[in-house]
Structure 1
Amino acid sequence: MKTFAAALVLITLWNATATDGRGCLKTRKEQGHLQKVKETEMPCNASARQLVPLPVPEGYDSVVPSVTIARRCSGSLCSEKKWCVATNVSTRYVKVVLKSGDAAKCDYVRVEEHRECGCQCIVGKEQCREYEEFDEDKCECRCPEYSMTSCLARGNAWNWHSPSCSCVSLVDGSIYK
């Protein structure tokens, strides 16, 4: 819960400084607190107990209770291009009262428990163009290495064009992929 609270404070403080930044966190105490939160290490290696809202099934207005405690992955970004996600989940059922108008019914709703956590790229291979490949280590789309190598092996009459992952002829402008 401390990790969740620290993350919430960090996000709130970051948003407060990111939206305008001028004059929001002026005092030494506020600046010191922001620095402490930023320095707090929130690793992505285990799930933590957090309050999570319970889903309201279709056809109902509310559920009682409306929240439960469940294990969730938390932590700061793993790196600039990765975030903390659940790598192993299980489902449990929570007994609730489903309400619709004046009617009430006892039933169960599903809650997802995060059993294991890990770092995953924020963007994935679906962001890549058809001629690019996804580099999991760097979390980015890039041209296949063999394309550039084969282009450069064609000789001085060809130029590598990275944005299109293609080899362009300096003679007639034709493209080789």
Structure 2
Amino acid sequence: DSELVSLRPENLTSSRYYYYPSCTRVKRCSGCCNTKQLVCEPTANRTILYKVTILEYRPNKKDRFSHRELVPIEEHVRCKCQCRVKAWHCNERQLYNANNCRCECT
């Protein structure tokens, strides 16, 4: 499926900048798996560079400054139902059981 993704940086707090286009659709993993223990996740990604025009509004000036930038966006290429609980969720007293998608006490 495709997902709507913002082309404006998340950490940009200034409202002086306008990005055009402001968003785009990219392929992202989604959907349902057979059990609650599984989640649809990407097994392969690629980075797509989108060309955006950035307008900067300058107070007390007639003209607007604009330039173009390439914005990297991650697109999912392949998807697979995988364990929702990962090995890194386990603490030092647990072992990860990949067949059952869970941490087990040792």
Kindly indicate whether residue 37 of structure 2 is the aligned counterpart of residue 81 of structure 1.
Answer: yes
- Residue 52 of structure 1 pairs with residue 5 of structure 2: yes
Matching of residue 116 in structure 1 with residue 78 in structure 2: yes
> Per-residue CA shift, 1:34-54, capped at 9, x if unaligned?
xxxxxxxxxxxxxx2333222
* Residue of structure 1 equivalent to 2:62: none
Name the CA distance, whole Å, in 2 between partners of 1:78 and 1:66: 36
Question: What is the deviation of 1:93?
Answer: 0.7
Structure with greater strand percent:
2
Partner Cα distance (1:95, 1:113) in 2: 15
Count of equivalent residues: 97
* Structure 2 unaligned residues grouped into runs of 5+: 59-64
Instruction: Measure how far apart 1:115 and its partner are.
Output: 0.4
- Report matched runs for 1:22-171 at 5 Å: 48-56=1-9, 61-102=17-58, 103-143=65-105, 165=106
Distance 2:2 2:103 in 1: 35
Answer yes or no: is the 8 Å Cα contact 1:56–1:63 preserved in 2: no
Instruction: Note the residue ranges of structure 1 that are not aligned, 5 or more in a row.
Output: 1-47, 144-164, 166-177
> How far off its partner does 1:108 sit?
1.0
Bigger proportion of residues as helix: 1
Q: Provide the alpha-carbon RMSD of the alignment.
A: 2.2
Q: Percent identity?
A: 30
Higher RCO, Cα 8 Å, sep 6+:
2
Could you say which structure has the larger radius of gyration? Answer: 1
